[in-house]
Amino acid sequence: MNSTGWLAWCTARAGTGVFPPQQGAELCAVVRQAPEGFGLPRPRWRLADLRAVVPWLREYSLSGISQALTRLGVRHTHGRFALRRPDPDYQPKLAAIDQAVARARAAPARVRVLDADELTLVRQPSLGLVSAPRGHEPTVPLTTEPNYTYRDAGALDLITGQVWWLGAQQVGVDRLMRFLRRLRAAYPTQERSLVWDNWPVHRHPAVLAVAAALGITILWLPTYAAWTNPIEKLWRWLKQDVVVAHRLAEQWGELKGHVAAFLDQFADGSEALLRYVGLLPDQVVKLHKSPGSPPKPANEV
């Protein structure tokens, strides 16, 4: 909800009898600002601070202010990190990707667009929601072995839902060049575009030279805009199905095998995957607004 909508909602809540609507909107506006802007040397609001800053709150007790804030919908909540470094070419880059996808939808036999990215797999499991009887907290075993990492480079065909991938201890210049050659072999007759983020290795001169020689056009995503990258949702699906709360910390090879099996199920394409990442034509107006089959032979390079 944007600032205007939030203030309107808060004003409407203020009509419940706690404050007059105008005062409720004023209080909401204060809470949305940092205390430093009001001369207070702290980053977060306290009830006493609000009473000191908003004159008409001085007739309320601290508990009364707390109850009033609750009725206004103001509560303690976790914040989010924000990195303000906008890409000046944000819209042109997204428009170029949208145009390439539209061309591929119109002529899939001649044009293909693939969204590519890398995933880091670690040996130790991550925690997540696990079903368990009440009173029995589930445990996820760790290992005392080194917490190895493994990298998967993947490409998602935005038209068919096919997934091509490469697994290696490290994904560097040589591996990326090998990956590009494999993608060129997979689409020998089509015009190929690859959507990539701004990882420095993607822009290595040797990688770009191989892409140009293979006739692969690189379409760059805006910087710091992971939400415009549909393959990120594939990685999320993989993590939820394979990585969260896994019990294979002592079986590193078996864990990597489970990751391979998950990716291999999309070797021949998948409507379910396209639906999951928001890329079915009836779900998508523009690519950047987008919020399985049985296992097949591996598309691993």
**Domain extent at residue 208:** 90-289
Q: Are residues 99 and 39 in the same domain?
A: no
pLDDT in tens, 102-121: 999 999 999 999 999 999 99
Query: 179-214 burial, b if ≥16 CB within 10 A, otherwise e?
Result: bbbbbbebbeebbbbbbbbeeeebeeeebeebbeeb
Residues 6+ apart with CB under 8 A from 212: none
Q: Are residues 273 and 161 in the same domain?
A: yes
Q: Are residues 231 and 145 in the same domain?
A: yes
Q: Are residues 175 and 235 in the same domain?
A: yes
- Evaluate whether residue 14 is within a structural domain: yes
Q: Are residues 142 and 50 in the same domain?
A: no
Give the pLDDT of residue 10.
57
Q: Are residues 137 and 31 in the same domain?
A: no
Give the pLDDT of residue 73.
80
Q: Are residues 97 and 178 in the same domain?
A: yes
- Evaluate whether residue 294 is within a structural domain: no
Averaged pLDDT for residues 166-180: 94
- Evaluate whether residue 44 is within a structural domain: yes
What's the gap between Cα 82 and its chain centre?
14
CATH number of domain containing 264? 3.30.420.10
- Evaluate whether residue 209 is within a structural domain: yes
pLDDT(286) > 50 = no
The domain boundary, picked from 20, 41, 71, lies at: 71
Long-range contacts of 61-70 (CB under 8 A, 24+ apart): 67/18, 68/18, 68/19, 68/27, 69/27, 69/31
Residue 274 — pLDDT band, cuts 50, 70, 90?
A: very high
pTM metric for this prediction: 0.69
Q: Are residues 24 and 143 in the same domain?
A: no
Q: Are residues 217 and 142 in the same domain?
A: yes
Question: What does 132-182 look like in DSSP terms, one character per residue?
Answer: --TT--------SS---EEEEEEEEETTT--EEEEEES---HHHHHHHHHH
Q: Is 195 helix (H, G, I), strand (E, B) or coil?
A: strand
Residue 265 — pLDDT band, cuts 50, 70, 90?
A: very high
pLDDT(19) > 80 = no
Residue 28: C-alpha distances to residues 7, 55, 256, 285 (Å): 7, 14, 50, 35
Q: Are residues 25 and 156 in the same domain?
A: no
- Evaluate whether residue 232 is within a structural domain: yes
pLDDT(85) > 90 = no
Give the pLDDT of residue 7.
53
pLDDT(21) > 80 = no
- Evaluate whether residue 96 is within a structural domain: yes
Least confident stretch, 103-112, 144-153, 260-269: 144-153
Q: Are residues 237 and 143 in the same domain?
A: yes
Averaged pLDDT for residues 215-237: 93
Averaged pLDDT for residues 32-59: 90
Q: Are residues 102 and 227 in the same domain?
A: yes
- Evaluate whether residue 131 is within a structural domain: yes
Count of domains forming the chain: 2
Q: Tokens 């080194």: give the residue.
A: 146
Helix axes 205-213, 173-186, angle to 10 degrees: 10
The domain boundary, picked from 17, 43, 71, lies at: 71
The domain boundary, picked from 38, 71, 104, lies at: 71
Give the pLDDT of residue 70.
85
- Evaluate whether residue 301 is within a structural domain: no
Give the pLDDT of residue 296.
40
- CA dist 219 and 158 (Å) reads 13
Give the pLDDT of residue 294.
37
